[in-house]
Amino acid sequence: MSLTLKPKSGATPAAAKRPLAASPGTFLIWGSMAVFLLLLLGVVSSVVVNSFAKEWFDTWLPSGYTPTWYADAWKEYDLGQVIGTTLTVSIAVVGISVLIGAPASYVLARRSFPGKNILMLVFLLPIMMPPITYGIPLATLLTYYHLAPGLTGVILANLVPSIPFVILTMTPFIEQINPSIESAARMCGANMLRLFTRILAPLLVPGILAAAVLVLVRTVGMFELTFLTSDSTSDTLVVALFTAMTGAGIRAQQSVDAMAVVYMLMMMVLLVVALRFVNPTQLVSQVREETD
Amino acid sequence: MTLTGQRPARVEQEEPGNRPALSHRLAERGIDKLLLLLLPALVFALVLFVYPFVYGLGLSFQPKTGGLFGAYVKFFTDPSVRGLDSIWVTLQLALPAALLNVLVSVPIAYKMRGKFRGKRALTTVLVIPITLGTVLTAEGLLNFFGQRGWLNRFLGLLGFEPLQLVQNYWGVLWSLIISGFPFAFLLILSYLSGIDPSLEAAARTLGADWKQRFRRITLPLLAPGLAITFCLTFVLAFSVFPSAILVGDPSGSTRVIAYVAYNAWGQQFDYPLASAAAIVMGAVELVVIVLVLIWRSRMYKGSTGGKG
C-alpha cells in the first residue's frame, strides 16, 4: 500500500499504479477527509461572507455587500490598541521565553545530572495541565501582588507554558549539533560566552526560529491565561473577540465577524511565516525526506 | 544569562592536594557551573508555576466556612456548583473527542505517510484550524451550523428538518474535533513517518498481507506515539472553556469544569472554591493521563527505527 503512494513524479497518488476505482477503505478515508475539509471551508467562509454582508437573513447569500463593518469594528472595539497589545505581548513573551529557555534546553540536551527527571517533570507539567488549572491560582496571586489585571500579568502568565515549550522544541535541534564542534572551540580557547555566541547560536538559528514562531502562534491564540489576567486595556485580539461575542448590548453580528476575520488574517500571516521555518510533520521525529 | 561568561569548572582541576577539589568531584557526577544556565528557567518555573500551584492548593483548604475540606465539599455537593456533574460533562466531551480524533487520524495518516504531490499543501490546510483558535471556530460554527446556516439550508433542500447543532453538546464536540483533529493528525503522521519503512517491506517480503503488517508491525511501533497523541489531544479537549460558552449550553449540557472554576473565580470571587475546582480539574486530567501511560508502558518499548 505504501509503495503505491510514492509515484516517482507527476500523477496523483491514487492514479499512479492503481485502477481508478478505489477500494472501499481508501474511498472512506479520502471521503471523510473531504467532508472534514468541506465543513472547515463552510465554517471559515461563512464568517468571511457575513463580515461583508449588508443584511443576511433567511437566504443562501446576503442581500448586498459592504466593507463598512471593518471600519465599524475598528472603531467600536478599538482594534488598533488591541492589535498593538497583542503584538507587544507576543513579542515580549517570545523574546523572554527564548532567552530563558534556550540555555536551559542546551543543558538538558547535553548533560545528565541527579534530579534531571524531576526537573523535566516541572518543565513538562505546565504543558500537560489545562491552562485554567494553574491559571486560576496564578491569576489570584498576580492580582494579590497588583501585577494583574494588566499587561505585566498577561505577559507573565503567558510565559508559564511558553518557556517549557521552547525547551521542548529546541532540545532535538541541540542534540543534532555535533558535540565535537564545541570541543574544538574549547580547544581553541573559546570560553562559554564565546562558545554560545560564536558557535552554538549560528548553528541553532533554525531551532530558535522554530521555537520562536511556535511560541508566537501559541501566544496570539492563547485564550484562557490572557482572559484571566487581562483588563479592558490589555485584552489581546482573541480575548477581545470573546468579549465582543459574549458581552452585553446589541452589536451587529457582522462587526464581530469582521473582527474575527482580522484575527484570522493575522493568524494566516503567522502560519505562512511559521511553515517557512517549521515542517509540522517533523516536529516529533526528524525524517530524511529522500528515503524511498 | 550573566552566568555564561564564567569559566567551566574544568579549569580548577589543577588544584594541589591529594583529594580532588569539591567542584571536580561534583563535576564527575555531572554537576558543574554549566548547570547554572538552568537557573533562570528553573526560577521562572518555581515562581510562576510551582508557587502559584502550591498557593492555590493551600487556598483551597482555607474556605471561609466549612473547615479544612469546605471548598471541596461545596464543590461536590452544593446544588449551585454541581461539581461532580461538571466533571462528567467534561469527560463526556473530552474522551469521545480525543478518541475520535486519534482513531480517525490513524488510517488517514497511514495512507498519507509517503511522499506525494500536494502533501505540503494538504498539511498546510490541516494546520489552519489550529491557528483559528476556539473563539473563531465557535463564531464559524454558529454561522454555519446555526438554524439558518448553510448546512441546515442544504438539509432543507434534501427535505430534512433543520437540526439543532449549536448551543448544545454537539456544537462543543464539533468545535473540539475541528480544533483537535489536525493536531492529532499531524502528530500521528509525524510518528508514522518515523517508523522505518524497511520493517514493513521485510514483512511484505515474508508474505504478510496489509492487515498483518498493520497489526504486527506498524501498530506496536506506533503505540507509544498513539498514547502521547491521545494525551495531548485529551488535554486540549479537557480544558475546553470558551467554546463551551459560545457554542454550547453553559448552564446545562456543556457546563464544563473549567466554566465552574471560572465562574467561582471571576463571578462569585470565591477563590477557595475556584482553587478547589482547578485542583480537581488537574487531578482528574492526571488520572486519565496516568491510565493511558500505564497502558503504554505495557506495550513495546524501544526504537521505532526512525531518529527521535
- Residues A202 and A190: beta-carbon distance below 8 Å: no
Contact in structure between B206 and B172 (CB atoms under 8 Å):
no
Specify the number of domains making up chain B.
Answer: 2
pLDDT of residue A280: 58
pLDDT for A1 beyond 90: no
- Domain-embedded: residue B71: no
In a domain, B117, yes or no: yes
Q: Do A242 and B190 touch (CB under 8 A)?
A: no
B289 and B176 share a domain? yes
Q: Both B156 and B292 in a single domain? A: yes
Please count the other Cβ atoms lying within 10 Å of the Cβ belonging to residue B158: 6
The per-residue pLDDT for range B8-18, each reduced to its tens digit, is: 444 444 445 56
Regarding whether B109 and B52 lie in a shared domain, the answer is: no
Verify that B23 and B133 share a domain, yes or no.
Answer: no
Kindly determine whether residue B111 and residue A5, on different chains, have CB atoms separated by under 8 Å.
yes
In a domain, B77, yes or no: no
Same domain, B42 and B116: no
Contact B265 A130 (CB under 8 A): no
Residues sharing a CB contact under 8 Å with residue B285, sequence separation 6 or more, in sequence order? A128, A129, A130, A133, B234, B235, B238
pLDDT confidence of residue A3: 40
Q: Which domain holds residue B9?
A: 2-60
* Contact residues on chain B for A114, CB-CB shorter than 8 A: 29-31
Portion of chain B with pLDDT greater than 70, in percent: 90
Confirm whether B75 is domain-assigned.
Answer: no
Determine the pLDDT at residue A174. Answer: 87
B86-100 pLDDT, tens digit per residue, is: 999 999 999 999 999
Which residues of chain B neighbour A160 with C-beta distances below 8 Å? 44, 48-49
SS3 track for chain A = CCHHHCCCCCCCHHHHHCCCCCCHHHHHHHHHHHHHHHHHHHHHHHHHHHHCECCCCCCCCCCCECCHHHHHHHHHCCHHHHHHHHHHHHHHHHHHHHHHHHHHHHHHHHCCCCCHHHHHHHHHHHHHCCHHHHHHHHHHHHHHCCCCCCHHHHHHHHHHHHHHHHHHHHHHHHHHCCHHHHHHHHHCCCCHHHHHHHHHHHHHHHHHHHHHHHHHHHHHHCCHHHHHHCCCCCCCHHHHHHHHHHCCCCCCHHHHHHHHHHHHHHHHHHHHHHHHHCCHHHCCCCCCCCCC
CA distances from A163 to A25, A202, B239, B282 (A): 43, 21, 20, 20
pLDDT above 70 for B300? no
Let me know whether B262 and B292 are in one domain.
Answer: yes
Dump pLDDT digits (tens) for A117-172.
898 888 888 888 889 889 999 999 999 999 878 899 999 999 999 999 999 888 88
Same domain for B38 and B138: no
Q: Which of A50, A1, A134, A21 is nearest to B209 (CA)?
A: A1
pLDDT surpasses 80 at B187: yes
- Which residues contact residue B56 at a Cβ distance below 8 angstroms, ignoring those fewer than 6 apart? A134, A136, A137, A138, A140, B275, B278, B279
Mean pLDDT of B184-201: 84
Mark whether B87 and B43 lie in a shared domain: no
Decide if B128 and A283 are in contact by the 8 Å CB cutoff.
Answer: no
Q: Are B9 and B31 in contact (CB under 8 A)?
A: no
Mean pLDDT over residues A34-47, rounded? 86
Distance from CA of A29 to the nearest CA of B (A): 6
> Are B99 and B47 in a shared domain?
no
How does residue B52 score in pLDDT terms, banded at 50, 70 and 90? very high
Please check whether residue B106 lies inside any domain of the structure: yes
Q: Which of A2, A140, A242 sits opposite B114 (nearest CB)?
A: A2
pLDDT digit string, tens, across residues B213-247: 888 888 888 888 888 899 989 988 998 888 888 88
Give CA–CA dist A60/A74, Å, rounded: 27
> What's the half-sphere exposure (Cβ side, CA atoms, 13 Å) at B74?
24
> What pLDDT sits at residue A282?
55
CB spacing of B41 vs A167 below 8 angstroms: yes
Stretch 154-183 of chain B: residues touching chain A, C-beta under 8 Å: 178, 181
Predicted pLDDT at A135:
92
Looking at the structure, tell me whether residues B44 and B123 fall in a common domain: no
Say whether both B47 and B116 belong to one domain: no
* Contacting residues of B for A5, CB less than 8 Å apart: 111-116
Q: Which fold has domain A70-278?
A: MetI-like fold (1.10.3720)
Task: Quote the pLDDT of residue A248.
Answer: 57
Q: Which residue of A has its CA nearest to B139?
A: A47
What are the distances in angstroms from CA B203 to CA A2, A67, B207, B210, B301? 13, 60, 6, 9, 20
Cis peptide before A13 (omega within 30 of 0): no
pLDDT at B172 over 60: yes
Q: Where are the domains of chain A?
A: 20-66, 70-278
Query: CA B5, CA A229: separation in Å to the nearest integer?
Result: 36
Statement: residue B6 has pLDDT above 80: no
User: What's the CA dihedral at B214, B215, B218, B223 to 10 degrees?
Assistant: 140
Q: Would you state the cell numbers that stand for residue A54, as one nine-digit string?
A: 449588508
Question: Does B102 share its domain with B166?
Answer: yes
Evaluate if residue A177 carries a pLDDT over 90: no
Q: Is the pLDDT of residue A52 over 80?
A: yes
* pLDDT reading at A13 higher than 70: no
Question: Is 0.85 exceeded by the ipTM?
Answer: no
| pLDDT tier at B37, thresholds 50, 70, 90 | confident
Determine the pLDDT at residue B301.
Answer: 58
Mean pLDDT over residues B270-281, rounded? 91
- The pLDDT value recorded for residue A283 is 52
- Which residue does chain B place closest to A230, by CA atoms? B266
Q: Does B239 touch chain A (CB under 8 A)?
A: yes
Q: Is residue B72 part of a domain?
A: no
A68-125: per-residue pLDDT in tens? 888 888 888 888 899 999 999 999 999 999 999 998 999 888 888 888 889 888 888 8
Whether the pLDDT of residue B179 is over 60: the answer is: yes
Q: Which of B291, B226, B118, B37 is nearest to A100 (CA)?
A: B37
Residue A281 scores a pLDDT above 60 = no
